[in-house]
Amino acid sequence: MSVEIFYDDDADLSIIQGRKVAVIGYGSQGHAHALSLRDSGVDVRIGLPEGSKSRAKAEEEGLRVLSPGEASAEADLIMILAPDTKQRFIYAEDIEPNLKDGDAIFFGHGFNIRYELIKPPANVDVAMVAPKGPGHLVRRQFVDGKGVPCLIAVEQDPSGNAQALALAYAAAIGGARAGVIKTTFKEETETDLFGEQSVLCGGTTALVQTGFEVLTEAGYAPEIAYFEVLHELKLIVDLMYEGGIARMRYSISDTAEYGDLTRGPRVITPEVKESMRRILGEIQDGTFAREWVGEDEAGRPNFTKLQAAGEQHPIEETGRKLRGLMSWVDRPITETA
């Protein structure tokens, strides 16, 4: 199945420049969208509750910060960039009562629409602009004159203009410099959850921690294990990012390439592939979404326990020490890029 890919020349920035945009939330994605929209000449205000620790960061950037309800009332395009588990409450309390004919509700990820946690009325456009990268890099790439690819999707289109609006929004945050692909809320949600759970985050962190454990438990120095399984991973992935797996294999030794070809499938076995299929099934049938919403409602006991265990893993201590000696590596994450 071929996809449609759009670039800057396909987007009409004046469409988004003619709207009043409210960005609800000013975290990883929120700050990136808000600052880049503003830099692209868009009229932006931020919606955050009183007492939110993000308020000061947004105000330091000269952005106008209102309550989520006030920002939604003032705007005609509301981009919801609060945590997925909180969005349904913000929508019910602050957004829905302020919706007018012709307004648009935007999302950075399809979770709440795909799993029907939010059901917008028929008289508003519902669309998505989902960057395929962490928000702090979305902003950093924009500032550097580059862009992170985005997915766009339209769920409701009473205006008949929702796709052009989403494309203009994606262009305003730099996405159309890299490529904007049209998809659906269903496809974005399911592939995004699968990617972050199985490969990008869950798969990679488990692979790195396990490799570190195998080496250090066998008596090798933690510093050598860290460089081998974590630090060098970026350098290998950079080659894959630039030229695919083939370019990475061109650059490594033939000894490494033979080990890659023959041992890789012994690590990622058919059982691992079966496990990935089960994880995808739990995303498709809603099991993961119900579990995550329930975990959040219960105060996140399991999340907090696992998060703390991850922070205590010995690889973190070794990494802190080594990164401290490489000033160019330990770049602080900021909301200003």
Ligand X SMILES: CC[C@](O)(C(C)=O)C(=O)O
Q: Which residues bind Mg ion (CB under 5 A)?
A: 192, 196
Q: Would you count residue 201 as binding ligand X (CB under 6 A)?
A: yes
Q: Which is catalytic among the residues 109, 136, 231, 313?
A: 109
**Smallest distance from ligand X to CB 240, Å:** 16
Instruction: Tell me whether residue 231 is one of the annotated catalytic residues.
Output: no
Any known ligand binding at 29?
yes
CA distance 22 to 18: 13
Taking CB under 6 A as the criterion, the residue among 49, 134, 211, 314 binding ligand X is: 134
DSSP state of 10: G
- Closer CB to Mg ion, 19 or 88, in the complex: 88
CA distance 264 to 111: 33
Beta strands across the sheet bearing 104-107: 5-6, 180-183, 150-156, 125-131, 104-107, 77-80, 20-24, 43-47, 64-66
Total number of residues binding ligand X (CB under 6 A)? Answer: 7
At a CB cut-off of 8 Å and minimum separation 6, what does 314 contact? Answer: 212, 216, 222
Three-state SS string across 94-153, please?
A: HHHHHCCCCCEEEECCCHHHHCCCCCCCCCCEEEEEEECCCHHHHHHHHHCCCCCCEEEE
Find the radius of gyration of the CA atoms of the chain.
Answer: 22
Any known ligand binding at 228?
yes
Q: Would you count residue 188 as binding ligand X (CB under 6 A)?
A: no
One-letter identity of residue 218: A
Q: Would you count residue 187 as binding ligand X (CB under 6 A)?
A: no
Token pair of 94 as six digits = 């602050």
Q: Would you count residue 192 as binding ligand X (CB under 6 A)?
A: yes
Residues at the contact surface with ligand NDP, assessed by CB under 6 A = 24-30, 47-49, 52-54, 68, 81-84, 86, 90, 108-109, 130-131, 134-135
- Closer CB to ligand NDP, 271 or 297, in the complex: 297
Q: CA dihedral in degrees (269, 313, 308, 133; nearest 10)?
A: -60
Q: Would you count residue 196 as binding ligand X (CB under 6 A)?
A: yes
Stretch of residues binding ligand X (CB under 6 A), selected from 70-78, 132-140, 243-251, 320-328: 132-140
Q: Which residues are known catalytic residues? A: 109
Q: Which positions make up the binding site for NADP(+)? A: 26-29, 52, 54, 135
Binding residues (CB under 6 A) for ligand X: these are 132-134, 192, 196, 200-201
Q: Which positions make up the binding site for Mg(2+)? A: 192, 196, 228, 232
